[in-house]
């Protein structure tokens, strides 16, 4: 005879101590399907599963409605926003004209409804103006602090004022990764006009970043963003910068920002591969690389640079000057701070675009090994020379004997480290 269950429905779940329920659900944090099933057991289990189901949330917007649906969802289910700690607003990364739009009021509303939000990714999102729903609404931004903010957004039709309004929402940001930020620049023909416009609208002076990554764009916006950062509290808090520069205007703007930061800057990563592509052979590399103003950062402890090497100069039997061109520029950059007593770590990243020659041969023929040793020896307190390969363990294994031969003096002093690219040695400008 079947005996009726004394406990049924929601009361059955009360047999389990809350601590045991939480530990069980915590163990399932990566299993979304099981978490969804657990959420149906009882109200107690629902609250525990929500923490994991919504902790990291991705919302895909569309060009017509933007993220209105997500805002309405949070408005009708206020408890959900309490669980969101990481949010990614996703649009069209490569098509700026078709990107979903979010305005300053909508962004402010999102932050209000997600009080525990610590990580924000804006990928392929436009920072557009308000529509009729925002008519008459005051805008009193309440800057939010974040562990990390990543931006790949804007479009060449966005108004500069709207972009500034979005930036006003960020307060203390530990890691600020701005790989792309774009707005309409047709009404800003030169830096003077931009500067006056920035002062008229007011810079986002409250923004206080501690580590900054600046990506490249083929518009003036990358350079102009550096100018914006010069008028924020970040100049007093930044300790690390990573810059991927596509032109000399971007390099000069990065240098101006670094000059304002000065003694606070401790770590710097630079990728100038796009700048050097198709660049004419200059007569004085060292003079033009002074635009970076590395000498104004007396406490710089580490510097990381990228060498993109290809085999075309070898195949075409180019001159020695052309063959060593990339290496020469990188060494010229390092030589602008060669007398630094604060420098402890130098990292050189190698990336290869070789079609016919093996990477080890390209590496051997593309480097000025004698001058490399001379420049590195100029850092009196150097502790580590790190050689990092971006193309995997096989390339590292192939090139290691060559590096041990050419860099034997640093190896004997215990300074040389040869590694493959991973999270440990990933430069700031490549972290997401």
Same domain, 28 and 177: no
- C-beta separation of 298 from 263 below 8 A: yes
Q: Angle at CA 327, nearest 5°, toward 287 and 225?
A: 60
DSSP secondary structure code for residue 158 in this structure: S
Alpha helices, DSSP H, located in 9-131: 10-13, 18-27, 32-38, 43-53, 68-76, 78-81, 104-113
Range of the domain at 176: 55-132+139-238
Q: Residue 119: what pLDDT?
A: 97
126 and 219 in a single domain? The answer is: yes
Question: Which residues are CB-neighbours of 103 under 8 A, at least 6 positions away?
Answer: 127, 128, 129, 130, 131, 134, 162
Q: Does a structural domain hold residue 336?
A: no
- Phi, psi (deg, nearest 5) at residue 420: -95, 150
10 Å Cβ neighbour count for 395?
Answer: 20
Give me the number of domains the chain comprises: 2
Q: What's the pLDDT at 429?
A: 46
- Residue 78 and residue 227 in one domain: yes
Instruction: For the chain, list residues with pLDDT below 70.
Output: 1-52, 95-97, 278-286, 423-432
Contact 65, 98 (CB under 8 A): no
Alpha-carbon distance 186 to 135, whole Å? 27
pLDDT at 14: 53
Instruction: Report if residue 365 sits inside a domain.
Output: no
Q: Are 79 and 48 in the same domain? A: no
DSSP 8-state code for residue 324: T
102 shares its domain with 186: yes
Q: Is residue 126 located within the same domain as residue 12?
A: no
Within this chain, do residues 184 and 158 fall inside the same structural domain, yes or no?
yes
- Please tell me the predicted confidence (pLDDT) of residue 175: 97
| C-alpha pair distances (Å), 161 with each of 129, 142, 194 | 9, 17, 12
Q: How far apart are CA 115 and CA 144, in angstroms?
A: 9
Residue 244 in any domain: the answer is no
23 falls within a domain: yes
Contact 411, 404 (CB under 8 A): yes
pLDDT value of position 8: 43
73 lies in the same domain as 42: no
Burial 234-258 (b: 16+ CB within 10 A, else e): bbebbebbbbbbbbebbbbbbbbbb
103 with 193, same domain: the answer is yes
Claim to verify: residue 23 and residue 151 sit in the same structural domain:
no
In terms of phi and psi (left: phi > 0; alpha: psi -120 to 50; beta: otherwise), the region of 241 is beta
The last residue of one of the domains, among 212, 238, 264, is 238
409 inside domain: no
Helix (H) or strand (E) holding 177: strand 170-182
| Last residue in a domain, options 238, 262, 278 | 238
Length, in residues, of the chain: 432
Kindly state whether residue 188 falls inside one of the protein's structural domains: yes
The rounded distance, in Å, linking the Cα atoms of 233 and 74 is 32
Residue 5 DSSP label: P
Do 141 and 169 meet the contact criterion of CB atoms below 8 Å apart?
yes
The DSSP annotation for 110-149 comes to: HHHH-TT--EEEEEEEEE----GGGTT-------EEEEEE
My answer on whether 162 and 110 are in the same domain is yes
Give domain status of residue 427, yes or no. Answer: no
Let me know if residue 342 belongs to a domain: no
Are residues 19 and 158 located together in one domain of the fold?
A: no
Residue 27 burial (CB count, 10 A): 10
Q: Residues near 51 by Cβ (< 8 Å), separated by ≥ 6?
A: 25, 83
């Amino acid at each position: 005879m079947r005996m009726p269950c004394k406990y049924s429905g929601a009361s059955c779940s009360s047999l389990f101590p809350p601590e045991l329920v939480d530990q069980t659900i915590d163990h399932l944090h990566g299993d979304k399907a099981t978490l969804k099933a657990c959420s149906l057991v009882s109200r107690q289990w629902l609250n525990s599963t929500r923490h994991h189901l919504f902790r990291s949330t991705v919302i895909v917007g569309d060009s017509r409605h933007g993220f209105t649906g997500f805002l309405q969802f949070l408005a009708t289910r206020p408890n959900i926003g309490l669980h969101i700690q990481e949010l990614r607003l996703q649009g069209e990364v490569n098509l700026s004209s078709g990107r979903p739009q979010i305005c300053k009021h909508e962004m402010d509303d999102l932050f209000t409804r997600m009080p525990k939000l610590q990580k924000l990714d804006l990928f392929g999102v436009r920072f557009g103006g308000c529509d009729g729903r925002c008519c008459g609404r005051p805008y009193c931004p309440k800057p939010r602090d974040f562990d990390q903010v990543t931006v790949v957004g804007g479009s060449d039709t966005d108004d500069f004022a709207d972009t500034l309004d979005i930036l006003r929402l960020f307060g203390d940001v530990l890691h600020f990764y701005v790989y792309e930020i774009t707005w309409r620049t047709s009404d800003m023909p030169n830096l003077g006009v931009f500067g006056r416009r920035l002062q008229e609208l007011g810079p986002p002076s409250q923004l206080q970043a501690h580590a900054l990554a600046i990506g490249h764009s083929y518009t003036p916006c990358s350079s102009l963003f550096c100018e914006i950062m010069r008028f924020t509290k970040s100049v007093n808090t930044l300790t690390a910068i990573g810059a991927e520069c596509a032109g000399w205007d971007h390099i000069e703007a990065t240098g101006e920002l670094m000059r304002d930061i000065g003694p606070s800057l401790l770590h710097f990563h630079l990728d100038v591969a796009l700048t050097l592509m198709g660049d004419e052979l200059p007569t004085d590399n060292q003079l033009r690389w002074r635009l970076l103003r590395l000498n104004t950062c007396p406490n710089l402890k580490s510097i990381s640079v990228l060498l993109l090497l290809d085999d075309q100069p070898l195949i075409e039997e180019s001159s020695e000057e052309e063959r060593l061109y990339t290496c020469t520029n990188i060494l010229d950059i390092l030589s602008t701070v060669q007398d630094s007593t604060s420098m402890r770590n130098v990292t050189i990243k190698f990336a290869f675009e070789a079609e016919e020659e093996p990477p080890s041969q390209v590496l051997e023929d593309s480097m000025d090994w004698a001058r490399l040793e001379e420049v590195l020896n100029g850092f009196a307190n150097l502790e580590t020379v790190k050689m990092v390969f971006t193309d995997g363990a096989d390339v590292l294994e192939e090139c290691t004997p060559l590096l041990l031969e050419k860099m034997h003096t640093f190896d004997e002093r215990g300074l040389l480290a040869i590694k493959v690219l991973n999270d440990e040695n990933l430069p700031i400008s490549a972290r997401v």
